[in-house]
Amino acid sequence: MKRFLRFAATLALMAVAPVMMAQDKDEPAAQPDSAHEVVRAATEQVMSTVEDAQEYAGENPERFYDELQEILDPVVDFRGFARGIMGPYASSDRYRSLDAEGRQQLREQLERFTGVIRVGLVRTYGKGLLAFGGSRIEVPPLSEEEAARSRVSVKQFIHSDESQPYVLVYHMGRDRDGGWKLRNLVIEDVNLGEIYRSQFESAARQYDGDLDKVIDSWSAVEIGD
């Protein structure tokens, strides 16, 4: 667990960027045809941003966070991630059980929580990203059978000075337009979505099911504290 804690905050979001690296920023980005290619190319995109940020992040961290946000928005399913964290409180069954006013309230709560997750994740892990660099990164290709699925798990090995590489697993799924989006992340066998879901459920019990209070008080688990 100590090994996970030391590395998680650094790498949690490093491979979920859109693939724009082989192109000028002013040119339209082509959508990769495989989840493996998204992860492989995105790693280079994000780490290039991190390398550039070493020169300015200390004095202008907001610029770094904004650039990371721009990279992550097109390919991270923040809404699906937020809904998964909310668990049964945002389930289809619960939604159907509500009256019109309750459904509207739940939709607004989900949108608000999505915004909280979107900003919080980038800031939390952006800080860790700045400390990362110099390691060899390997993304093994998927088998033909795996690549043909609409949901796949892409492994990433981070080779550092440790005897064994760190293992990250990116759970990717296709959206309605056919693009690949990150749905969840597992770092060294620790499921990030499950950690946050447990935190949300605990807060919901604390506030007697008042989701507005849960969202207002939300502070994503600082992995590595």
**CA-based radius of gyration for the chain:** 18
Q: Does the residue 225 lie in any domain?
A: no
**pLDDT tops 50 at residue 44:** yes
> pLDDT value at position 199?
94
Please give the helix or strand (H or E) that residue 163 lies within, else none.
Answer: none
130 C-beta neighbours (distance < 10 Å), count: 16
Q: For residue range 45-84, list pLDDT tens digits in order.
A: 777 888 888 889 889 999 999 998 888 888 789 999 999 9
Residue 14 lies in a domain: yes
Q: What is the pLDDT of residue 42?
A: 75
> Residue 14 sits in which domain range?
2-216
Residue 148 sits in a domain whose CATH number is 3.10.450.710
- Structural domain includes residue 222: no
Buried b (16+ CB within 10 A) or exposed e, 53-72: beeebeeeeeebbebbbebb
Residue type at position 94: R
Residue 223 lies in a domain: no
What is the distance between the alpha carbons of residues 23 and 92, in angstroms, rounded to a whole number?
40
